[in-house]
Structure 1
Amino acid sequence: MMAEEAARAGRPTLDLPAGVEPGLRFAVVLDGKGGCAELDWQGVAAWKPEQGFLWVHLERDAPEAQAWVMGPSGIDPLIAEALIAEDSRPRVEHIDDALLLILRGINLAPGSSLQLVPLHVWIMPSRALTLRDKTHALSALRDIRIALKNGRGPRGPGGLLGQIADKMVRDLDPVLEEMEDEVEGLEEEIIGTAMGELRREIADIRRRAIHLRRYLGPQRDALYQLRNEDTAMLDKRDRMRLRGVIDSLVRHIEDLDAIRDRTSLLHDDLAAMISEKIARTTYRFTAIAGLLLPPSLVAGLLGANIGGIPGQENPDAFFELAGLIVFLLGVQALILRRMGWI
């Protein structure tokens, strides 16, 4: 499923083993030329900084990964707790010569609903750790790994950061395009469409837009902060790339605001149509009740169980009464039409 989605989006579809060992999605050592060498848990334990830049990608909710982060990784316990935290908003923290980042990307796991899921990043001049949940799927990291296997990947920590941010924002493009197409379709179908179904569709789009906007705003601020951080890991080229990522993210946020405003207008139009329909129906019932009121009054009087009711001995009284009622209905209809009620 992931390979099919990647192919439709024009992304590479090379199959790579991942998650073979418990808790470890993959681990690579960058060669500084765009390539890498794969490692297992044993290789990660034996890694030395002089071998090259180490990138370890873990399953955040796997006990083996959590045990390694809290122990053998050598990371400060407070940082380790932040890396394995259950839920976090996007942010950037500069700690000594390292950076702690929490970013959000589109979950492309099969069968999942639209959701921005967290990616925890701890990056130092010599190594980087990234963590995401076992049930989540982020194509950004997979694409970077494929680029590394093809010799066209990042060459250091700054390049890795830039590519992660770039590709996570890139995955928003097809999602927002689909939402815009849905809104345009609703704008065309608002007349002649079942009200209940239309209201559900509008509410669904608004919920998705609100969910995305909730995290993309803080993510924009986090990337602004990252670009302006005084760290040697980011060179001029990396900062220029981050600037382009931020520009794209700002555009996506503006698109989400536009989608939210358009769905609000659709909701208001739909509410006005429903109110107009209710008023029209109520008006018709009122007109019908007005037409039937005098005949009902006559019928009620003639049906009273008292003496002196006219026509009791006349065999043609029923037909005369029916004619009178029809005449009254005609007169009422004429009067109501001249008054503009019908």
Structure 2
Amino acid sequence: MLEQLKTLSYGDEPGLRFALKLDGQGGCSELTMAQLCDWKPQDGIVWFHFERDHPATAEWVAKKGGLDPLVAEALLAEDSRPRVEPVGDGLLIILRGLCAAPPEEEENPSEDIDLVPLHAWVDERRLVTLRDSGHYITALRDIRLALENGIGPKQTGELLALVADKLVRDLEPVLDEMDEEADELDEMIFQDDAGEVRQRLKLLRRRSVQLRRYLAPQRDALNRIEHDDADWLTERDKLRFREVIDKLMRFIEYLDSIRDRTAILHDDLSTVISERIARNSNRLSALAALLLPPSLVAGLFGMNVGGVPGVHETWAFVVIVGFVAITSAATLLVLRRMHWL
């Protein structure tokens, strides 16, 4: 199957990533920008994908797309929080998808994880999607591959459900990687550098919080789509949305679990650091106790005043050294019985 997939081209026209006309049999044909401007609902079901921040996109959405002015303004806005708003017989949708490397850079993908806002307008005859330039969403690429090879969605509702499904699907490897990193940090706490563990733990916790901040409203948005009364949403489409919502809820619970694990790991790390500090403090205290008798004797006999005993006796030094040795040994014995050493 992979050998039969076609090579895709992106962005041949300014602002337009691709424009597809669905044939209702799982396949599609490509449209140009000129054909895009002449499209009418009776011409068939279409999927237009634009760069949101390109001037050509703004011109088409605002003037040539036949969209409601409020819808056009929302599609071009910076707002990226997931939400769904019914407008007439269509839906204004903002979701988030995993950013991937562009096709020409797939051999050296970025290690950063980024959730890209996807703005969309969907009705019975068309799906219009927009994302910022410089970002690539694997979910859309996979659906276009399927369409160009005759195994894609046939109707608008099916296409929208597939987009939502693949947006959520692409999050699973990220969550698995985060869980593996939590396991690795759990093992590193008791054997590696605490500074490195603390830094990685902080990044992991921040990433889990950031992902959950977008996935929770995305779940609510998909739930609104499932319960919408649009005629072009079939029961099969709604069933698929329910499955996507269930999967998304599991991912959110997964993120909560990772966040709780990072809190526990942080407590464990703090405990390990406290134990190390206490152990080092005990060692320093024991060393100070061992050095106390010699320091006291040296201080007494080192005073530059008259009356210091043994100043003129040759045996005095030997006696003092013996006394220091005996007192140090006695101090060491006491510290061992007190379990300080």
**What's the TM-score, normalizing by structure 2?**
0.94
Please name the residue that 1:77 is paired with.
69
- Determine the C-alpha separation between the residues in 1 that align with 2:4 and 2:90: 31
Please name the residue that 2:271 is paired with.
272
- Determine the C-alpha separation between the residues in 2 that align with 1:320 and 1:233: 104
- Determine the C-alpha separation between the residues in 2 that align with 1:45 and 1:305: 103
> Could you tell me how far 1:112 is from its partner in structure 2?
5.9
- Count of equivalent residues: 334
- Determine the C-alpha separation between the residues in 1 that align with 2:33 and 2:72: 18
Pairing partner for 1:64 from 42, 51, 56: 56
CA RMSD of aligned residues (A): 1.8
Please name the residue that 1:100 is paired with.
92
**Matching residue's letter, 1:319:** V
**1:215-245 Cα shifts (integer Å, max 9, x gaps):** 0000011111110111112110000000111
Say if 1:63 and 1:91 are closer, same or farther in 2 by CA, change over 3 A: same
Specify every segment of 5 or more residues in structure 2 that has no aligned partner in the other structure, as ranges. Answer: 102-108
Please name the residue that 1:227 is paired with.
226
**1:104-157 Cα shifts (integer Å, max 9, x gaps):** 111112426111111001011122210001111101111111111111211121
- Determine the C-alpha separation between the residues in 2 that align with 1:15 and 1:257: 40
**Matching residue's letter, 1:58:** F
Structural mapping, 1:18-57, within 5 Å: 18-57=10-49
Say if 1:293 and 1:132 are closer, same or farther in 2 by CA, change over 3 A: same
Specify every segment of 5 or more residues in structure 1 that has no aligned partner in the other structure, as ranges. Answer: 1-6
Structural mapping, 1:139-218, within 5 Å: 139-218=138-217
> Could you tell me how far 1:102 is from its partner in structure 2?
0.5
- Determine the C-alpha separation between the residues in 2 that align with 1:82 and 1:12: 39
Given that 2:212 and 2:252 are in contact with CA atoms closer than 8 Å, whether structure 1 keeps it comes out as yes
SS at match of 1:92: strand
**What's the TM-score, normalizing by structure 1?**
0.93
Given that 1:12 and 1:143 are in contact with CA atoms closer than 8 Å, whether structure 2 keeps it comes out as no
**1:231-270 Cα shifts (integer Å, max 9, x gaps):** 1121100000001111111111111111111111111111
**Matching residue's letter, 1:313:** H
**1:272-326 Cα shifts (integer Å, max 9, x gaps):** 0000000110111111112212221111111111101112112332232121111
SS at match of 1:19: coil
> Could you tell me how far 1:74 is from its partner in structure 2?
2.2
Please name the residue that 1:291 is paired with.
290
- Determine the C-alpha separation between the residues in 2 that align with 1:11 and 1:295: 84
SS at match of 1:37: strand
Given that 2:84 and 2:93 are in contact with CA atoms closer than 8 Å, whether structure 1 keeps it comes out as yes
**Matching residue's letter, 1:237:** R
**1:149-179 Cα shifts (integer Å, max 9, x gaps):** 1112111210111000000011011111111
